[in-house]
Amino acid sequence: MTRVWKWNRPVTVREVLEDLQQERSIAYTTVMTVLDNLHQKGWVRREAEGRAYRYEAVSTRAAYAAALMNEAWTQSDNPAAALVAFFGMMSPEQREALRDAVRMVQGPEETPAPQNPTAENPEAENPAVENPAVENPAVENPEAENPVGENPAAAGGETGR
């Protein structure tokens, strides 16, 4: 799939084979079998071109990654704790990318909130002071099955995919 996504166009078995052979020795029939399996699973579509097929990705790599993340998240018995643990594993660059993505999804804010509302109006209510307890299921139960920061897949040596 990496080769098909990289080129972002319909590819032949021969093209993928020649590209892979720059890194290692591999048989034409192996590449053909893998592309056929990807077609059977619905990851690529193919069109006949003479006696060969041209294979094209059904979705983007980003859409595939998003589907994997969504699948893992929805299978959790505590989605909030899973997200907290996932965010804890992220690098600063990944967290910044996450913030950018959230901004893209939310769109521009109509009126930006002041940075310090009490500085302009000391009488203003401060919801953070009014309600300091923020509900966080991962923190509420420190003895949870998957504590924050622990990667259950890493503990067993499995990657999940």
**What CA–CA distance (Å, rounded) separates 83 from 101?**
15
- 32-61: burial string, b at 16+ Cβ within 10 Å, e else: beebeebeeeebbebeeeeeebbbebeeee
Which of the four pLDDT bands, split at 50, 70 and 90, describes residue 126?
very low
pLDDT tens-digit profile of 26-78? 999 999 999 999 999 999 999 999 999 999 999 999 999 998 889 988 899 99
From 30-34, 97-101, 149-153, the region with the lowest mean pLDDT: 149-153
Q: What is the pLDDT of residue 140?
A: 40
pTM of the shown model: 0.53
Q: Mean of the per-residue pLDDT values for the chain?
A: 77
Q: What is the pLDDT of residue 142?
A: 38
Amino acid, res. 59: S
Q: What is the pLDDT of residue 73?
A: 87
Contact 143, 136 (CB under 8 A): no
